Amino acid sequence: MSINTSFSNPEALLVFNTSEYPREIERCSFICFVALSISTLGVLGNVAFLFVVIRVCSMQTVTNAYLVNLAFADLLHLVTHTSLWLCGILADPCPVDQDTNLPVFCVVLVFSRMSQYVSMFTVTVLSLERYVAVCRPIVYRNGAIHRPCFVATVIGSTWLLALLFSSEQFSACIVTTGSYYHNRAIIGSLIFIVSLMFLMTIVTAVYVNIICRVRASTHSMKSRDKQIIRICIATACIYFICMLPSVLQAFMIVLNSLQYNINNILEKLIVTNNVATILLEVNSSINPIVYNALSSNYRSAFSMAFKCSESYSCFFVPCKEPAGINKSNGNEHHSEEHVDLTQFTKHRGAENRRGHRRNSEC
C-alpha cells in the first residue's frame, strides 16, 4: 500500500490492489519499508528537538517558537502516515483503509491535510518574522512581534486557517456521492496548488529582500543571526522542493478530473505518488538535522540537553549557562534597546549640562 495524503481526494489516493496489480506487491513493500523508516527517524528527531527547546532556556526564542509549531505539524503528519504504513504492512485488510473504515480514514486524511497547511503557513510566518527582525529592527524591538501573546496568536491562527482550508475534507466524509467527489477533487487540488504557489512566491520575495539587505548593510551581522537566517532559508527551500511532486500530482488529478486525455495517466500518477510520498516523509523528518548542520548554537543546545552537569540539573538548563549559547531573540533585542536608551540618556544629559553652562556664562 502506498498512500499520499498531501491533498484530500480519496479517488486520487493510490491504494494498490495487489490482486489487480501483482507486480506492484514488491514495490509497495519496499516503499512502505522506506517510508516507515524515514517516519520513525523523523518522529525521534522532532521529539528530540521539542525536548531541547523545553529543557534549554536559551532555546526558547521567537524563531524557535515557530520552529516548534513546525515540529508539531511534522509530528502530526508523521504519526498519521506511520499508522498507515504499519497498517499496510501488518494488517490485511487494513482497518484504516477507505474501503473498510471510511470515517477513520477520513479523520486520518484531515489530520494529514491540516499538517501540510500548518507547515505551509509556518514557513511563511518564519520568513516574515525574519524580515521584520532584519529589515525593520526598530519595529521588531518596539512592536508586539516578539511578545508571547502575539506569537501564540499567530501560531493558533495557522492551525485555524489550516482547519479552514481542510474543511472540504470534512464535508467529503459526510457526503459520499460520486458527483460531489468529482467536484471536490478539482476544488481541493486547486486550493492546494494556488495556496502553495502563492505562499512560495511571498517567501521567495521576502528572503531575496533579506539577502539583499544583509549584503548592502555596512554593519556586520552577528554569527547567530546569520545562522538563524540560514536555517529559515534552508527550511523553506527543503519544504517547497519536497512539495513540488505533490503539486504535480494535484495538477494531474485536476486534468484527469476535467477529462483531459493523458497517456498512461494511471502509471504516471503511481510514479508521482511514490515520489511525493517519500519526499513528504523526508520533509517532515529532516528539519532537526538541518538545524544541527547549520547552527553551532543548536548543536551546543542538543549536546547540553542530553547530558547532566554539576552546574545545572538534568531537567532544566538555565539561561545563564556559560556554554556558548546566545540569549533569546526577544531578550537580546530588549538588551539592545536598553543600551540604546542608556546612551540616549547620557547624550541628553551632556547636552543639558552644556546648555546650563552657556546660560551661566550669559
In a domain, 204, yes or no: yes
Spatial contact of 317 and 60, defined as CB atoms under 8 Å apart: no
Local mean pLDDT, 10-residue blocks, the chain (362 residues): 43 37 52 82 94 89 92 92 74 63 75 90 93 86 84 94 83 59 72 91 93 81 83 92 89 75 70 85 92 89 77 54 41 38 43 47 39
Residue 216 domain boundaries = 10-325
pLDDT confidence of residue 226: 85
What DSSP letter does each residue of 173-209 carry, written as one string?
Answer: HH---HHHHHHHHHHHHHHHHHHHHHHHHHHHHHHHH
Residues 290, 197 share a domain? yes
Query: Where does the chain have alpha helices with state H?
Result: 24-55, 62-90, 102-135, 137-142, 148-165, 167-174, 178-216, 223-257, 265-285, 287-294, 296-305, 329-361
Residues 348, 306 share a domain? no
In a domain, 284, yes or no: yes
* Distance of alpha carbon 159 from alpha carbon 72, whole angstroms: 11
In a domain, 2, yes or no: no
Distance, first Cα to last Cα, the chain: 93
* Distance of alpha carbon 102 from alpha carbon 8, whole angstroms: 13
Closest to 42 (Cα-Cα) out of 297, 247, 278, 237: 278
Residues 318, 242 share a domain? yes
In a domain, 5, yes or no: no
In a domain, 4, yes or no: no
How many CA atoms lie within 13 Å of 107's alpha carbon, on the beta-carbon side?
Answer: 6
Residues 162, 25 share a domain? yes
pLDDT confidence of residue 270: 77
In a domain, 230, yes or no: yes
Q: What does each C-alpha distance from 28 to 17, 18, 78, 284 come to in angstroms? A: 10, 9, 18, 21
Residues 203, 161 share a domain? yes
Q: What does each C-alpha distance from 97 to 101, 102, 179 come to in angstroms? A: 6, 7, 22
Domain count, the chain: 2
* Structure-block grid coordinates of residue 241: 522542493
In a domain, 1, yes or no: no
Residues 181, 68 share a domain? yes
Residue type, 102: L
Residues 55, 131 share a domain? yes
* Distance of alpha carbon 320 from alpha carbon 44, whole angstroms: 28
3-state secondary structure 73-111: HHHHHHHHHHHHHHHHHHCCCCCCCCCCCHHHHHHHHHH
Largest CA distance in the chain: 105
* Distance of alpha carbon 157 from alpha carbon 152, whole angstroms: 8
Q: What is the CATH number of the domain that holds 98?
A: 1.20.1070.10
Residues 359, 319 share a domain? no
Residues 354, 319 share a domain? no
In a domain, 71, yes or no: yes
Residues 344, 275 share a domain? no
Number of Cβ atoms within 10 Å of the Cβ of 181: 16
* Distance of alpha carbon 25 from alpha carbon 116, whole angstroms: 28
Residues 285, 199 share a domain? yes
* Distance of alpha carbon 206 from alpha carbon 96, whole angstroms: 41
Residues 357, 288 share a domain? no
